[in-house]
Amino acid sequence: MTLLQGKNFLIIGVANERSIAWGISKALHGAGAKLGFTYLNEAIEKRVRPLAASLNYSDLWSCDVQSDSDLSNLFRALKTSWGRLDGIVHAVAYAEREDLRGRFVNTSRYGFHTALDVSAYSLVAICREARELLAESHGSVLTLTYLGSERVVANYNVMGVAKAALEACVRYLAADLGGDQIRVNAISAGPIKTLAAAGIAQFGQMLSAFAEKAPLKRNVSLEDVAGAALFLLGPLAGGVTGEIIYVDCGFNIMGA
């Protein structure tokens, strides 16, 4: 398939081969896109570099999304190396482990700030730095959220608040950048076994309950999310922006 032939996409947030960002990367690659990846530190680089190499890519950049100078350097380097950017996958989220257990009311000020900074504000900072490049190509930005943004999910705690902020950022960025013909959307995926999910207590029980209650009677796969991402990042979704698209086997429509 050559739907995205000649298009360049930056993937921010691949952690390992089970991450949603990697599933999306493979779908974009299969559609003919050229990909570049970022990594936070040496440990993550050791996991991401072989994955990129498996798709014959070597464009990797070190970047801490909490650092404005790192983001500025990233897009300066990308402009020099590529000259063109058609889309960004923002798949970055983090909360302190202790803030994903126990009572939400006990969330520390530091933990709250960290979760919001990494999981929500980073999207704003990335769009600001990438705006010029994305505007030239009428590019698209995609981020990842979860139902815990609007409903209370056990042990999701401050991450639910961060995802709510992220979804609001999607809408405001879509309105702000629409004049530049830049689209901004989010996928709200059902629970998937990823590195990030490992930090949520009783996640296995969540998967079982999800499959039982979802209309499709199964859990969501990486391929499910990747297919929706391919649509939102490509030309077929040229009129779609500011949307939160659920890819959760219908779980979000169900009552208690």
Can you read off the two tokens belonging to residue 104? Answer: 């939400």
Cβ atoms of residues 190 and 248 within 8 Å: yes
> Quick check: helix, strand or coil at residue 245?
strand
Question: N- to C-terminal Cα distance for the chain?
Answer: 41
156 catalytic per annotation: yes
Give dist(CA 152, CA 189) in Å, integer: 16
What single letter denotes the amino acid at residue 138?
Answer: H
**Residue from 232, 219, 127, 112 nearest 165 by CA:** 112
The CA–CA distances, whole Å, from 47 to 13, 27, 38, 89 equal 12, 19, 11, 18
Give dist(CA 34, CA 32) in Å, integer: 7
Give dist(CA 88, CA 126) in Å, integer: 9
Give dist(CA 101, CA 8) in Å, integer: 39
246 catalytic per annotation: no
Q: Which of 39, 94, 146, 246 is the catalytic position?
A: 146
Q: Which of 39, 94, 156, 246 is the catalytic position?
A: 156
Alpha carbons within 13 angstroms on the beta-carbon side of residue 41 total 2
Residues marked active site are found at 146, 156
